[in-house]
Amino acid sequence: MKIDRLLIPEGSRVDLKDHPTDFTGDYTDKDQAEKDLAKNVERLRKLQDVLYAEDKQSLLIIFQAMDAAGKDGAIEHVMSGVNPQGCHVVSFKQPSDEELSHDFLWRCAKNVPERGKIGIFNRSHYEEVLVVRVHPQILESQHLTDDIKNDKNIWKKRFEQIRNFESNLAANGTQVVKFFLNVSKEEQKKRFLSRIAEEEKNWKFSMGDVKERGHWDEYMNAYTEALENTSTKDAPWYIIPADKKWFTRLAVSEVIKQKLESMKPQYPVVTEEHRAELAEAKKMLEGE
């Protein structure tokens, strides 16, 4: 599967109209996509095992999207074969008082995956240039000086701070890949209605989700600027069509698989001393 069409090259302009939310590439049927997803899941299991054993690199995967775009489902299905010991998912909600007492990157920085592991952010530091930008009154609740709150270049500066943060991660062995799950407003409406109609999905629905739809265009503008300003070689953005969940999951799995393969993790080299220990252990066990 070719993923270049989904990649936002560094420095490029973004027009979300050029990224159809129902795009499915060369796939015309769900069955083949699910078969290929299963293959990718198995490949990810093997790659993650090597990454964990190597213990020199890590991978940070970031998911951002409008409500009901399918972040939870994508994470669940794509990472279903990965050993839980080597994978950590963090869902970022409304900041706590402690988090508000630090800079906006702090709560994400302290959850970056350690070497050998895969970290997944369900929402992230990008909320600070998305939700906060759409609702600037949130800045008033944050522990910021008036100079920062009133700075006309606050978003430009935050984009720069994010780029520097992610560049530093890459320079220290943590590769970063970012997904914007691009769902249409009409498909979101269908999924909201489904959550209301089906009792087992009622818990997922919040009136706040509907209210946020009223800011749809503002969010699209905020996403566009974020994608343009923070998609870099070190931490690229991929715009993933999200109207067809089966394609969303396949596309995400393909990007992650190719990213891990490009990292070329290797199992640790067994030293002669260790080989001697293995031989001795074998003799002892066989002699019991």
Give the pLDDT confidence of 153-183 residue by residue, as tens digits: 999 999 999 999 999 999 999 999 999 999 9
Helical packing angle, 71-78 and 245-263, nearest 10°: 50
> Per DSSP, what are the bridge partners of residue 175?
59
> What is the percent of the chain with per-residue pLDDT over 90, rounded to a whole number?
83
**pLDDT class of 30 with cuts at 50, 70, 90:** very high
Phi, psi of 174 (to 5 degrees): -105, 105
Split at pLDDT 50, 70, 90, the class of 205 is: confident
pLDDT value, residue 142: 86
**pLDDT value at 13 more than 80:** yes
pLDDT of 283: 87
Between CA 165 and CA 129 the distance in angstroms is 14
- Pull the structure tokens for residue 128: 């600070």
SS3 254: helix
| pLDDT tens-digit series, residues 48-88 | 999 999 999 999 999 999 999 999 999 999 999 999 999 99
Per-residue pLDDT reduced to its tens digit, 213-229: 999 999 999 999 999 99
CATH level 2 (architecture), domain 4-286: 3-Layer(aba) Sandwich (3.40)
Neighbour tally for 227: CB within 10 Å: 22
Bridge-partner residues for 82, per DSSP?
none
Q: Are 177 and 61 in contact (CB under 8 A)?
A: yes
Helix ranges (DSSP H) in the chain: 30-54, 71-78, 97-100, 106-109, 131-134, 146-149, 154-171, 185-197, 207-213, 216-230, 245-263, 272-286
Confidence class of residue 35 from pLDDT cuts 50, 70 and 90? very high
For the packed helices 71-78 and 30-54, what is the interaxial angle rounded to 10 degrees? 70
* pLDDT confidence of residue 209: 84
CB 181 within 8 A of CB 63: yes
Question: Quick one: pLDDT band at residue 245, thresholds 50, 70, 90?
Answer: very high
Q: What is the pLDDT of residue 29?
A: 87
Of 203, 202, 205, nearest in space to 213 by CA = 205
Average pLDDT over residues 28-41: 96
pLDDT-derived band at 127, boundaries 50, 70, 90? very high
Dist. CA 106–CA 159, nearest whole Å: 15
